[in-house]
Copies of this chain bind each other. A is one copy, B any other.
Amino acid sequence: MSVTNVSITQYIDQHTLKVEAALRESVPAAWNIPQSLREAMMYSLMAGGKRLRPIFVLAAAESLGGNSESAMPVALAVEMIHTYSLIHDDLPAMDNDDFRRGKPTNHKVYGEAMAILAGDALLTHAFYTAVQASRAHDVPSGVVADIVEELSRLAGAPGMVGGQAADMEGEQGLTKLSELEYIHLHKTSDLIVFSLKAGGRIAGANDEQLAALERFGTCIGLAYQIQDDILDLIGDEQKLGKPVQSDVKQQKVTYPYFLGIDASKAKVEELTAEAKQAIAEARFAYPERLLQLADYLVKRDY
Q: Which residues of B have CB within 8 Å of A149?
A: 128, 131-132, 135
CB pair B157 A37 closer than 8 Å: yes
CB of A117 within 8 Å of the partner chain: yes
CB pair A153 B128 closer than 8 Å: yes
**A111-133 to B contact mask, C-beta < 8 Å, 1/0:** 11110110111011101100110
Q: Which residues of B have CB within 8 Å of A111?
A: 93
- Please give the distance in Å from A197's CB to the nearest CB on chain B: 15
The majority secondary structure among interface residues of chain A is: helix
CB pair A131 B116 closer than 8 Å: no
Q: Among residues 142 to 157 in chain A, which have CB atoms less than 8 Å away from a CB atom of chain B?
A: 142, 144-145, 148-149, 151-153, 155-157
- Please give the distance in Å from A201's CB to the nearest CB on chain B: 13
CB pair A158 B116 closer than 8 Å: no
CB of A3 within 8 Å of the partner chain: no
The distance in angstroms between the C-alpha atoms of A142 and B164, with both chains bound, is: 33
**A71-93 to B contact mask, C-beta < 8 Å, 1/0:** 00000000000001100100101
Q: Which residues of B have CB within 8 Å of A123?
A: 120, 123-124
CB pair A145 B161 closer than 8 Å: no
CB pair B131 A161 closer than 8 Å: no
The distance in angstroms between the C-alpha atoms of A243 and B166, with both chains bound, is: 39
CB pair A93 B116 closer than 8 Å: yes
For the complex formed by this chain, how many copies does it contain in all? 2
Q: Which residues of B have CB within 8 Å of A144?
A: 141, 145
Q: Which residues of B have CB within 8 Å of A127?
A: 127, 148, 151-152
Among B142, B153, B161, point to the contact of A141 (Cβ < 8 A): B142
CB of A94 within 8 Å of the partner chain: yes
Among B36, B141, B166, point to the contact of A169 (Cβ < 8 A): B36
- Please give the distance in Å from A138's CB to the nearest CB on chain B: 13
Closest 6 CB pairs of A and B: A93-B112, A128-B152, A124-B156, A37-B165, A127-B152, A121-B157
User: CB within 8 Å of B: which residues of A?
Assistant: 27-28, 31-34, 36-38, 41, 84-85, 88, 91, 93-94, 111-114, 116-117, 119-121, 123-125, 127-128, 131-132, 135, 140-142, 144-145, 148-149, 151-153, 155-158, 161-162, 164-166, 168-169, 182
